[in-house]
């Protein structure tokens, strides 16, 4: 769908953010969907580790591995986080478009789930686009790709490699939308690419029109971090103050030829101003003159940001060059297990008691030293963030935190158990023990694969 720019005959796409991470709140996305302000919503659900963790879930259960927020009834699902598909079924049934990387490690199963839930919600006739092919584990192994951050090739870490997913772009999104899909999902769609696909399709822009694709990429980049552009992470009293942080709006934008305006829902809290937009525009951009995405090499170096009304900011001056010949691949590595535990100490001597607690815990886990790869102990409130680099007074209370990475689950359990014993067999007056965590230690590292080795496919299913 397209609208008209106020006071102009130029068509624009009205698109909003649905989420910035996998557990983001659905109520603000739902409010934006039914606000009448947008025709399209895009969801980014995958942090760097999310894909590898979902690959592990898929190994344990071949029917799992996708973002569980698209359904109800999943074992262990948090009931405070209602599912997405039912809540937004009317939006797509009535002509809206949703695009997101809900598929994670299992787009096929995610597509089946979405189709069933839309059917149950009465959204019959809606088409669902499922994008596959970003899982390139076999290609990465066959090519023995270099892992620059690890200083070796894949072969050296072959036993630890659990996944490899290419960051794919807007091309399959556009293909699915051209085939009539209203709900489009894939695996590791790059963060701005769901937006780029929806914008370019609705505006009829070719995907080799580099300036327009870069313009769409800037819109996606501004929206995909959610409330970061509407006031989230911005308050820093007394320097930066924001009204009504309890009720922020997810951002939305009008995007057309030479037109990009970011805004929020009127009457909601937060703010969209030149500063919030500049902060987000620069976020995670390694080189403003050559920001590499699967869709384009975008140049933000001559971007302009201008406030054009209350909570309305226009961005211009974005240009583009041809997209990279290779695609970034996120390789997931199994680094064993990790465990964390915390306990509080307060009053005179709290720092010394906290440090003694850490020393006692470390000594007691010595029996599994051969399985401990990394160990860290921090006194939160004293040295957890800045070490000895900042002057400070003696605190009234501190939090002692120990963390370890181990090669075996058994060793991680030993660390957790010994930390649990500290309130009764450690220094005086320890309490407020936080719930310890013990999880798989999944690391991710980049590699680069020729585009031709990434066999993207699109299937469109009618509900």
How confident is the model over 360-369, as pLDDT tens digits? 999 999 999 9
Distance of CA 300 to the CA centre of its chain: 22
- Residue 165 pLDDT: 96
- Is 80 exceeded by the pLDDT of residue 116? yes
Average pLDDT over residues 234-261: 94
Q: Specify whether the CB–CB gap between 352 and 345 falls below 8 A.
A: no
Task: Read off the pLDDT band of 6 (50, 70, 90).
Answer: very low
The C-alpha angle 392, 396, 401, rounded to 5 degrees, equals 85
What is the per-residue burial (b if ≥16 Cβ within 10 Å, else e) of 178-206? Answer: eeebbbbbbbbbbbbbbbbbbbbbbbebe
Express each pLDDT in 10-59 by its tens digit.
579 999 999 999 889 999 999 999 999 999 999 999 988 788 789 888 88
- Is 60 exceeded by the pLDDT of residue 81? no
Q: Specify whether the CB–CB gap between 212 and 319 falls below 8 A.
A: no
104 vs 64: CA distance, rounded Å: 10
**Tokens 């597509």, residue located:** 111
- Residue 2 pLDDT: 55
Q: Helix axis angle, 409-425 relative to 350-364, nearest 10°? A: 140
User: Contacts for 71-77 with beta carbons within 8 Å, 24 or more apart?
Assistant: 71/113, 71/117
What's the start-to-end Cα distance of the chain, in Å?
21
Burial of 237 (0-12, 13-18, 19+ CB in 10 A): exposed
What is the dihedral sign for C-alpha 194, 123, 25, 47?
A: negative
Average pLDDT over residues 82-107: 93
Average pLDDT over residues 179-184: 98
Express each pLDDT in 118-160 by its tens digit.
999 999 999 999 999 999 999 999 999 999 999 999 999 989 9
- Residue 392 pLDDT: 84
Express each pLDDT in 309-357 by its tens digit.
999 999 999 999 999 999 999 999 999 999 999 999 999 999 999 999 9
- Residue 227 pLDDT: 96
211 vs 169: CA distance, rounded Å: 16
- Residue 459 pLDDT: 98
364 vs 352: CA distance, rounded Å: 18
- Residue 72 pLDDT: 60
- Residue 5 pLDDT: 46
Alpha helices in 204-324 (DSSP H): 210-223, 274-282
Average pLDDT over residues 180-204: 98
- Is 80 exceeded by the pLDDT of residue 75? no
**Token pair in block for residue 418:** 């010994």
242 vs 226: CA distance, rounded Å: 16
Task: Read off the pLDDT band of 3 (50, 70, 90).
Answer: low
**Token pair in block for residue 248:** 């922020």
- Is 90 exceeded by the pLDDT of residue 435? no
Alpha helices in 301-342 (DSSP H): none
Q: Specify whether the CB–CB gap between 164 and 146 falls below 8 A.
A: no
Distance of CA 267 to the CA centre of its chain: 27
DSSP per-residue letters across 71-134: -S--TT--TTS--HHHHHHHHHHTT-EEEE-TTTT-HHHHHHHHHHHHHHTT-TT-EEEEEE--
Express each pLDDT in 284-317 by its tens digit.
999 999 999 999 999 999 999 999 999 999 999 9
Burial of 279 (0-12, 13-18, 19+ CB in 10 A): middle
Task: Read off the pLDDT band of 378 (50, 70, 90).
Answer: very high
Give the gyration radius of the chain's Cα atoms.
24
DSSP per-residue letters across 165-189: EE-B-SHHHHHHHHTT-SEEE-SSB
446 vs 167: CA distance, rounded Å: 10
Taking alpha carbons only, the member of 81, 86, 152, 146 closest to residue 119 is 86
Which structural domains are found in the chain, ordered by start?
3-136+166-328+451-462 (no CATH), 330-445 (3.30.70)
Average pLDDT over residues 380-404: 92
Mean pLDDT for all residues in the chain: 93
């Amino acid at each position: 769908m397209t609208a008209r720019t106020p006071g102009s005959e130029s068509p624009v796409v009205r698109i909003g953010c649905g989420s910035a991470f996998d557990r983001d709140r659905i109520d603000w996305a739902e409010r934006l969907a039914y606000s009448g302000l947008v025709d399209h919503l895009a969801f980014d659900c995958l942090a760097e580790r999310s894909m590898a963790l979902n690959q592990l879930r898929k190994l344990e259960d071949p029917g799992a591995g996708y973002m569980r927020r698209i359904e109800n009834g999943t074992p262990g699902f948090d009931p405070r986080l209602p599912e997405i598909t039912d809540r937004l079924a009317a939006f797509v049934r009535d002509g809206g478009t949703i695009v997101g990387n809900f598929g994670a490690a299992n787009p096929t199963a995610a597509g089946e789930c979405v189709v069933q839930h839309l059917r149950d919600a009465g959204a019959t006739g809606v088409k669902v686009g499922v994008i596959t092919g970003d899982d390139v584990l076999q290609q990465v192994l066959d090519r023995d790709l270099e892992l620059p951050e690890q200083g070796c090739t894949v072969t050296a870490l072959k036993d630890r490699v659990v996944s490899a997913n290419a960051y794919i772009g807007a091309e399959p999104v556009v293909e699915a939308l051209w085939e009539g899909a209203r709900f489009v999902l894939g695996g590791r769609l790059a963060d701005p690419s769901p937006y780029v696909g929806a914008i370019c399709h609705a505006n009829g822009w070719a995907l080799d029109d580099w300036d327009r694709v870069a313009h769409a990429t800037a819109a996606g980049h501004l929206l995909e971090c959610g409330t970061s552009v509407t006031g989230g992470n911005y308050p820093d009293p007394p320097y930066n103050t924001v009204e009504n942080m309890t009720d922020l709006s997810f951002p939305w934008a009008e995007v057309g030829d030479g037109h990009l305006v970011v805004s929020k829902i009127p009457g909601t809290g937060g703010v969209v101003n030149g500063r919030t937009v500049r902060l987000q525009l620069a976020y995670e951009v390694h080189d403003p003159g050559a920001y590499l995405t699967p869709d384009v090499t975008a140049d933000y170096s001559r971007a302009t940001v201008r406030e054009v009304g209350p909570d309305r900011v226009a961005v211009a001056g974005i240009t583009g060059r041809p997209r990279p010949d290779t695609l970034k691949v996120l390789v997931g590595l199994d680094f064993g297990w990790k465990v964390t535990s915390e306990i509080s100490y307060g009053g005179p001597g709290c720092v010394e008691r906290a440090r003694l607690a850490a020393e006692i815990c470390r000594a007691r886990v010595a029996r599994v030293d051969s399985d401990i790869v990394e160990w860290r102990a921090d006194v939160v409130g004293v040295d957890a963030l800045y070490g000895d680099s900042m002057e400070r007074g003696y605190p009234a209370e501190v939090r002692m935190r120990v963390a370890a990475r181990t090669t075996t689950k058994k060793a991680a359990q030993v660390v957790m158990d010994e930390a649990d014993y500290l309130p009764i067999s450690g220094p005086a007056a320890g309490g407020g023990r936080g719930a310890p965590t013990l999880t798989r230690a999944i690391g991710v590292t980049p590699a680069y694969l020729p585009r031709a080795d990434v066999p993207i496919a699109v299937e469109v299913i009618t509900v």
